Structure 1
Amino acid sequence: MIRWCRFSANILFFSFLSLLLVCRYAYALLPFVATGLALLAVLYWAFFSPGRWSLDREDVFFLLAMLVFAVLWLGDVLRTGAWPVGEGNQGVWLPLWPLMAAVVMVAWRLAAPQPGFLWWGVAFGAFLAGCIAAYEYWWLGRPRAGNGMNPIPFGNLALLLGSLSLVGLISPYVTRSSLRLVLGLAVLGGLLASVLSGTRGGWVVFPVLILLLVRHVSRSWCESFRGGVVGSVLVLVAVLLAMSLMPGAPVKGRLSQGVANLQDYAGGDAGSSLGVRLEMWRAGWQLIKARPGLGWGEGRLEAQRDSWVDEGRFHQGISRYDQLHSDLVDTFARRGAVGLLSLIALYAVPLWLFWRHWLRGVDEEARALALCGVLVVVGFVGFGLSQSMLRDVRGLSGYLALIVGCWSLLKGRVAGAGLSGR
C-alpha cells in the first residue's frame, strides 16, 4: 500500500507542477484525483493500519491553518447563500480546496513523493511556460502572454516555478547533469514567461526571492563554491533585466503605463488599469470600515460595492471584477477581521515551519526543500498584495499543492534523518 501511494503521489505531483500553466483543467482535475486517492489511502490506514500514523505537532499546526481558513470561508458561504464565482465561473468550489489539501497532506505524510519529482515538475512547468509565452508573444503577436488564462497568475506562477528551479540548480545534492541542464533552462523559461506576461507584481517580489536564495547559498556552501553560485545568480538577474529591456518587451511599456496611470489618478481619472485597482482598494477600505468584524460576505460585498458605484462614489470600472485585487483587502472586506486572521495564519504557519527547518541545517537536501516552502509562501504574500491570487483557481490550487508537497517532502527527509518536529 505504501509503495502504491508513493508511486501515485510521485506521478500526480510531477504532473500537477508541469501542467498547471500548460493544460486548461490541470488545476482541478489532478487535485481531485489526488484527493480521491488520498482519501482511500487514509481510510485504509485508519481501518487496517492504525499504528502507521506519523503526524506530529508541526503537522497539526499546518493542518489547522488550512482547516480554519476553509471552515471560515465555508461559514461565509453558509451565511450568505453564495459561492465564490471566479473568472469564467471556475471558482465555485474554492472554499473546499483547503480541505482537499489537508486530506492529501495526511496521506502524503504517510507516503510522501520523492524530491526528484519536485525538481523535474517545477523544471518542466517553468520551461513549458516560457515556451508558451515566447510563442504567444513573438509568433502570435499578443501583447501579454497568458496561455488563455489571466496573465497575472500565469506570470506570477511561472516566476515562482523558475525560482524553485533555481533552488534545485544551486543545490549541491542535485548531481544529475541532465536535471541540472533542464533546471537551468527552466529558470530562464520562468523569467521569460514572467517578463512576457507583463505582470508587474512579480517584478517587485523577485528581488526578495533572490535575496533569500543568496542567503541560502552564503550559509550552505563552502567558500570555494559561494562566489561561483552567487555569480550565477547575478548573471540570471542580469538576464532578467536584459529580457525586460529588449526591444518590444512589455516591461518598459507597462512601467511607463503605471506611472501615467498614477498621474491620471491623481488628476481625478480612475479609468486606467492602475486607477481601477486603486479604486478597488479604496472601496475595499470603505467596506472594511463599515463592517470590520465579520465583513460583508460572498456576494454581498459585490452588491454593496456596486450600490456605491451607482451612487457615484467609485469608478464604474470596479464592477467588472469579482474581487478587490488584493488578498488582504478582499479577505478583510469579505470575511472581516476573523477572516483576515485566518488568511494570515495560512501564510504565517507554513512560513514559520519552513523557516525553522531552513535555519536548522539538518542537511543540504532538507534545507533546499525548506527553502522552496519559504519561497512559495513569500512569493504568494507578495503576489497577493496586488492580486487576489487565492481567489484564482490556479493561484489557490498552486499554493496549496506547493506547500503541501514541499512540506511532505521535507518531513520525509527529516524523518529519514531521525529527527522530529514533536
Structure 2
Amino acid sequence: MRKDTVSLYQRIVGCGMSISCFVFFALSLAVPSGYSYGAAACVIFALAGVGLCRHKTWSTELKALCAVMVLMGLIWGLSFDGWWSWTGSDYLFKYWLAALCLGVAYQVGVHAGSAVWGCALGGAGALGIAAYQYLVLGWSKATGHTNAIQYGGIAMYLGIATWAMASFGAWPRRQSLLLWLLGGCGVLASLLSGSRGAWVVAPLLLAVVLGVMWHHGQGRRAMWTAVGAALCVAAMVIPAAGKFEARVDQAMAEVPLYWDHPQQGATTSAGQRLEQWRLALRMGAQRPLTGWGVSGVVVQKQKMVAAGLAHPSVLEYGHAHNEILDMWAKRGLIGVAVLLAFYAIPLAVMWPTRTRLARAPPVQRPALLAVRVAASLLPIAYFGFGWTQVFFAHNSGNIFYLFSLVAFVGCIRWLEKPQGVRPG
C-alpha cells in the first residue's frame, strides 16, 4: 500500500476513534448503556485499523497497560472454582478487545477534545437524568440508568476530571468557565444520587489535583482552584443541606450500632457492609492463595450463615461491597495482586511527570498536563470507590474504566506529537 494511502487510512481511523471516544464519554450516563455505544464504535474502528499496528514499535508503558488489561480479563474469566474453570461471563472477551483498541488508539491518536469535552458533556448528561428523576419523578435518589452507587461514582469522576482539565488546560476564559460549569453538573448529579462512597472519594481527587498544581509550581492556581471548587460544592449542598446531613448522620449512627449490636446493625446499610467485609476477610484467610472461587463463595457463605457465623443479610448480594476483599474471598492473593496492578499500572503510566510533559511541543504541554491529570484520577477514583462498592461487578464499571484508558492513551499520544506529524 502506498505511503500516502496509508496516511489517509490512518487519519480516517484516527478520526473515527476520536468521535467514538467523544461519544463514549458524552453518553456514558445520559442514556441506557450509554457507555456501550462509544465503546462498540471504538472496537469497530480498532478492528479496521489493526493493520496499522504491524511493524510498529510499542513503548514499554503501552506494553505494560496492554499486559495488565489482558491479565485482568483472564482473572475475570477464571472462576477459581477448580483448575481452568470459567465464569461464563464475556468480560474476558471485552478486556481483550479493549487491549486491541488501546494499541490502535496509541498508533492513530485520539483528538484531545474528545476527552475534554466528552467528559464535560457526560457530566451535563448525568445531571439531566438526575434532575428528571429527582425533580419530576420525585425519587429520593437519582440512579440514572444503572444504580445509584455506580451512577454517582462515575458522575463524580466526570465532574472532577472536567474541573481538573479546566484548571490545567490554559483555555480561553469562556471555555474555562464553561468547563467549570459542566464539571459542576457531574458533581451535582453525584450529590443527587446520594452515593456516600463518591462523596468520600471526592476530597481525595481534589487533593490530588491541588497537589499536582503545587508540584508543577502553580501554587496560586491551586489556591484559586480550591476556592472555586469549595464555592461550587457549597452552592450545590447548601440548598439541600438537610438531605446531605441526614445521609451523613445515618452512616454515623449505623457504624456504632453494628459494633455494639452486630445482629441488629447488620441489617442497616453501613452495618451490612461491615458484616460483608468481616466475612470476606475471614473467608479469604481460610484459602489465601486462590480463594473459594466464584461459586464456592456462595456455598461457603450459606454454610457460615447456617452455622451462625454470619448474619443472613450477607446472602442478599453476590459480592462483599469491597473490591479488594471480594477478590480476596473469591480469588485469593493471586486475584488481589492482579487487581492492585490494574490500579497501579495505569496510574504509573498516566502520571504527569516533567519528563513526560517534555515529550510534547511547548504549546501542547498545558493540555497534555490536563489530560494526564484526568487520566491519573481514574484509577485513584476506582480504588476509592472500591472500598464501599465492587465497581467491577457491574458492566458499567468495567467498560467505563477500560475505554476511558483507551481514550486517554490516544489523547496523550496525539498531544505528544508536533501538529504537522500527529497520528490521526
What is the TM-score when the length of structure 1 is the normalising length? Answer: 0.88
The one-letter code of the counterpart of 1:208 is L
Identical counterparts, % of pairs: 25
For residues 353 and 47 of structure 2, the distance between their equivalents in structure 1, rounded to whole angstroms, comes to 28
Post-superposition offset of 1:56: 1.2
For residues 359 and 160 of structure 1, the distance between their equivalents in structure 2, rounded to whole angstroms, comes to 26
Post-superposition offset of 1:21: 0.7
CA contact (8 A) 1:173 1:365 kept: yes
**Structure 1 residues 248 and 133, CA, compared in 2 at 3 Å: closer, same or farther?**
farther
For residues 275 and 234 of structure 2, the distance between their equivalents in structure 1, rounded to whole angstroms, comes to 31
The one-letter code of the counterpart of 1:377 is P
For residues 366 and 247 of structure 2, the distance between their equivalents in structure 1, rounded to whole angstroms, comes to 39
CA contact (8 A) 2:80 2:292 kept: no
Post-superposition offset of 1:405: 1.4
- Of residues 240, 249, 254, the one that matches 2:247 is 254
Gaps of 5+ in 2: 1-8, 359-364
1:27-38 matches, within 5 Å, as 27-38=35-46
1:236 alignment partner in structure 2: 229
The alignment status of 1:132 with 2:139, answered yes or no, reads no
For residues 369 and 35 of structure 2, the distance between their equivalents in structure 1, rounded to whole angstroms, comes to 28
SS at match of 2:30: coil
Deviates more, 1:271-280 or 1:250-259: 250-259
- Of residues 21, 26, 34, the one that matches 1:18 is 26
Deviates more, 1:389-398 or 1:354-363: 354-363
CA contact (8 A) 2:284 2:291 kept: yes
Post-superposition offset of 1:2: 0.6
CA contact (8 A) 2:111 2:410 kept: no
Gaps of 5+ in 1: 85-91
2:410 alignment partner in structure 1: 408
**Structure 1 residues 54 and 114, CA, compared in 2 at 3 Å: closer, same or farther?**
farther
1:171 alignment partner in structure 2: 168
Post-superposition offset of 1:350: 1.1
For residues 78 and 301 of structure 1, the distance between their equivalents in structure 2, rounded to whole angstroms, comes to 9
The alignment status of 1:372 with 2:374, answered yes or no, reads yes
**Structure 1 residues 2 and 417, CA, compared in 2 at 3 Å: closer, same or farther?**
closer
**Structure 1 residues 249 and 143, CA, compared in 2 at 3 Å: closer, same or farther?**
farther
The alignment status of 1:332 with 2:328, answered yes or no, reads yes
- Of residues 60, 84, 87, the one that matches 1:83 is 87
For residues 193 and 288 of structure 2, the distance between their equivalents in structure 1, rounded to whole angstroms, comes to 35
CA contact (8 A) 1:54 1:110 kept: no
For residues 198 and 14 of structure 1, the distance between their equivalents in structure 2, rounded to whole angstroms, comes to 27
CA contact (8 A) 2:33 2:145 kept: no
Post-superposition offset of 1:345: 0.7
For residues 112 and 77 of structure 1, the distance between their equivalents in structure 2, rounded to whole angstroms, comes to 38
**C-alpha offsets along residues 368-395 of structure 1, whole Å, 9 cap, x if unaligned?**
2211111111111111111111222111
The one-letter code of the counterpart of 1:299 is S
Measured on the aligned residues, the alpha-carbon RMSD in Å equals 2.3
CA contact (8 A) 2:22 2:115 kept: yes
For residues 415 and 223 of structure 2, the distance between their equivalents in structure 1, rounded to whole angstroms, comes to 26
SS at match of 1:292: coil
The alignment status of 1:317 with 2:310, answered yes or no, reads no
CA contact (8 A) 1:359 1:367 kept: no
**Structure 1 residues 313 and 217, CA, compared in 2 at 3 Å: closer, same or farther?**
same
